Structure 1
Amino acid sequence: MGGVAGGVAGGAAAGAAVGGMTGPVGAAVGAAVGAVAGALAGRAVKADPAEEDAYWRDNYTGRPYVESGSTYDDYAPAYRYGVDAYSRYPERRFDDVEPELSRDWGTARGRSSLEWERAKHATRDAWQRLSDKVERAIPGDSDRDGR
């Protein structure tokens, strides 16, 4: 099931369950509200690669892990990798998928000079940016980070 469709279905089910406590009308209203919220969450997972690339191109130099003399071209594959990984695994935490990402970095890195130990910080940053977008779209702990 796609991000929006899955979000709508999950949101509608949750809304209906909560609304069901107040009777049939409450269930219908809850399902409708939940469907809208779920759709927002589904859309938030679908990152715009061009938007993310522009964001990181403009902001990478201020990140604490970027070493002096490095270029955006060194970090761009790691940011793209984080965006792609979050889009594939939005229901998981970065720390849970990091071993898989580490294993596959050699293929994903393209021409990046970064080894995984340096690239993972940028990958996590891109992942967290998307996770935070979902969190803002759906209040609560939608990214299950305890915040």
Structure 2
Amino acid sequence: MLVHLHHAPEVDHDEGRTRARIFGEEATDLYPGQPWGEVEPHMAGDWRAVRGNSPLAWADVRGHAHAAWQCAKLEREDHLRDDAPVF
């Protein structure tokens, strides 16, 4: 007996992670001056609209979005420089 195993097509999760990072950066403009605790619920609600074809849920990309938001916030506040300490 021959058994043929069909491989499931590979899902590209990089697109979703990339979209989450871009969304995180953009959130500093969408919600200026607001802390992550206030911004994150809005982003979680909007994730379905901005994720494109990505199958990733908000829980899968939250960390990527948060990291990008933090970096963009530091840069926006002019703290992301080699000659300035980060507080």
Q: TM-score, normalised by structure 2?
A: 0.69
Matched residue count: 73
1:90 pairs with 2:32: yes
Greater relative contact order structure (CA < 8 Å, 6+ sep): 2
Alignment-derived partner of residue 58 in structure 2: 116
Amino acid in structure 1 at the alignment position of 2:29: S
**1:84-127 deviations in Å (ceiling 9; x for gaps):** 11121121111111111111111011112210011111110110
Per residue, is there more helix in 1 or in 2? 1
1:136 pairs with 2:79: yes
**Matched ranges for 1:1-147 at <5 A:** 71-133=13-75, 134-136=77-79, 147=87
Unaligned runs of 5+ in 2: 1-10
Off by >3 Å, runs of 4+ in structure 1: none
Amino acid in structure 2 at the alignment position of 1:100: H
Unaligned runs of 5+ in 1: 1-68, 142-146
- C-alpha RMSD of the superposition: 2.4
For residues 140 and 88 of structure 1, the distance between their equivalents in structure 2, rounded to whole angstroms, comes to 26
Q: TM-score, normalised by structure 1?
A: 0.43
